[in-house]
Chain A
Amino acid sequence: MSNLQEYKCPCCGGAIEFDIESQNMKCPYCDTEFELDALKSYDEALKTEGTDDMNWETNAGSEWQEGETDDMRVYSCKSCGGEIVGDGQTAAIECPFCGNPVVMMGQFSGALKPDYVIPFKLDKDAAKKALLKHYEGKRLLPKVFKNQNHIDEIKGIYVPVWLFDADANANIRYKATRVNTWSDSDYTYTETSFYSVLRGGDIGFERVPVDGSSKMADDLMESIEPFDFSQAVDFQTAYLAGYLADKYDVDAEQSIERANARIKKSTEDAFASTVQGYTSVIAENSSVQLQNGNTKYALLPVWILNTNWNGQKYTFAMNGQTGKFVGDLPMDKSIYKKWLFGLAAGVSAAVFALSYLFWLL
């Protein structure tokens, strides 16, 4: 009795028994029948499944060299508490995140020196033009927003990000189905065949960025991706001239979770694309092991535009390298209703006229 094997039903999770009548394995709970070989393979696949191992070396950034930070000043915003870095030339400035004046706190010190920086490639005028272009083709945007809108200030800021490099080794089990339908004179039959699909292998990720600033909204930062890292250069304080830089306040350790989630999702998707010939494919289990995990610290160029309208704040961001422009816009409810009911009436009338014509012919 010691090697009594118990199988779990892949369909409902119940314990499966041998059914004398059909001479097959059958689940007494959901009545699904199985062949023993299929069950054995399925069970083996389940047993070899591991857990995720997604650990990283977080040795990003380096120490500043002596004298390197001499020209750098730290400014603090009394309103939102943000600390930003600028060169000593920057006189009266406003907080790029909330628009309030900031005060110089003194000499920059501490924190890590970034490994890379992607320099600004697009200037302030490009950001202004991009904003106007952003308004185009938005039928539900309130007209007054477009006309009255004055961008309070446009600021170029270097946003700190953590870059994660790793090779992922993945073992993924998908549940896939094939659906076949046919019919006789009385019934339509649908046959759904379930398959267990195993995929394993390696895939490499390079510089997956995670926002290291708590004041820069993560969704805003991810919306202007991707940045082209082939143009990244080693960090020099000279790149900061005329721009502001945010100091990271979310460290690499705290950013790992987000990087892992994105890497895992993309790994599942990449291997799912090799599962073909099925009606549906769902990842049931995946274990991802990371090797050669490495983290770097970089500054990325972003233009930030703030505006207030009807007491609400609207923030736009432009990728300072590629020009990708994002920012949520308000909706004019009365224009929305006009479109909804106007279109509904127009389309209904057209469909009715067509159906009447069709009937006449």
Chain B
Amino acid sequence: MKKFLMIILTFIILSTAFGISAFAEHPSRVVDEADLLTANEETALASRLDALSDKYQMDVVVLTVESVGDKTVVAYADDYYDYNGYGYNETYDGLLLLVSMEERDWYITTCGEAIKAFSDSDIQAIGSAISEAIGSENYYTAFSAFADECEYYIDGHINGFPFDYGKHILISIAIGLLVAWIATSSMKSKLKTVRFEEKAENYVKDGSMNVTLSRDFFIYRTITRVAKPKNDTSTHTSSSGRTHGGGGGKF
């Protein structure tokens, strides 16, 4: 009996240590392999990202590497996300920012709900917000900005975006000026009543018009095409078979 208990205990300990721990303990959301951050910065950033991920049930991960080796940045980011247990829910909701020092590449891969939350242009907007700070080696500033931007887009996706005062004020003023201009132009035109009469339609003899020739024929046609503006999210399939969205650039 004692032996049996021992076996069970050993099994529990072993499974906790190796198997189940993978599910219980979430992998770190700051993986600084290129060692760009100080220990304090790393802790601060990790707690920020943990809180963010927990709040929106969407993983936000920062990964820095010296080099992506033979892989492309896209494959490296996708695989790192897929094979290290990131992602909430069955759809593995979350996103990962990969910064590769040797290639000077940044890449953001999105998965699950995050694909919908971040369009291609959103990702480029985030990239331009952080790439300058990365380029000038202000890594902590860059990753904090990344966390802020992610919160903005994720919160906007879930709760709706906040009211954009600047844009609405500008559009309102433009409409106001246009309406006022049209209204005052009509007031102005009432002051002017003297003008030449270019036509003689008042002097056409009633019923005198008689159409004797009436021919219409087609001569030629022209076709022009204009590309539609896009606000799409492009997706690809990673080596694990999951669907990812995302985009990247240089810093």
Contact = CB atoms under 8 A, between A and B. Distances in A.
Contact of A205 (B184, B200, B214, B215): B200
B40 to A, nearest CB: 41
Given A328-B192, A351-B176, A274 B204 contact: no
B213 A202 contact: no
A196 B180 contact: no
B191 interface: yes
19 contacts: A32-B222, A138-B187, A139-B187, A188-B226, A198-B213, A199-B213, A201-B210, A203-B204, A207-B203, A217-B194, A219-B196, A222-B196, A223-B197, A326-B194, A331-B188, A344-B180, A344-B181, A348-B176, A355-B171
Interface in A328-359: 328-331, 336, 339-349, 351-352, 355-356, 359
Contact of B218 (A193, A275, A327, A348): A193
B219 A194 contact: yes
Interface in A217-256: 217-220, 222-223, 225-226
Given A38-B218, A41-B217, A141 B191 contact: yes
Contacts of A188: 225-226, 228
Contacts of B212: 200-202
A192 interface: yes
A52 interface: no
A193 B220 CA distance: 6
A39 to B, nearest CB: 8
B203 A226 contact: yes
B25 interface: no
A348 B194 contact: no
A269 B228 contact: no
Interface residues of A, number: 88
Interface of A: 10-11, 32-34, 38-39, 41-42, 45, 134, 137-141, 167, 171, 176, 183, 185-209, 217-220, 222-223, 225-226, 259, 261-263, 265-266, 269-271, 274-275, 325-331, 336, 339-349, 351-352, 355-356, 359
A161 to B, nearest CB: 12
Nearest to A341: B180
A330 B191 contact: yes
A189 B217 contact: no
Nearest to B222: A192
Given A201-B209, A356-B168, A34 B183 contact: no
A171 B214 contact: no
B208 A262 contact: no
Contacts of B214: 198-200, 274
A271 B184 CA distance: 36
A247 to B, nearest CB: 23
A203 B209 contact: yes
A190 B184 CA distance: 36
Contact of B204 (A42, A45, A137, A270): A270
Interface residues of B, number: 53
B210 A202 contact: yes
A176 B220 CA distance: 11
Contacts of A171: 213
Contacts of A345: 176
Contact of B173 (A185, A207, A271, A344): A344
A106 B217 CA distance: 67
B2 interface: no
B175 interface: yes
B85 to A, nearest CB: 37
Given A38-B218, A203-B205, 18 more contacts: A42-B219, A140-B191, A189-B223, A193-B218, A205-B200, A205-B203, A222-B196, A261-B198, A263-B200, A274-B211, A328-B192, A341-B180, A346-B176, A348-B175, A349-B172, A351-B175, A355-B168, A355-B172
Interface string B32-74: 0000000000000000000000000000000000000000000
B179 interface: yes
A157 B219 CA distance: 55
Given A32-B220, A343-B183, A223 B193 contact: yes
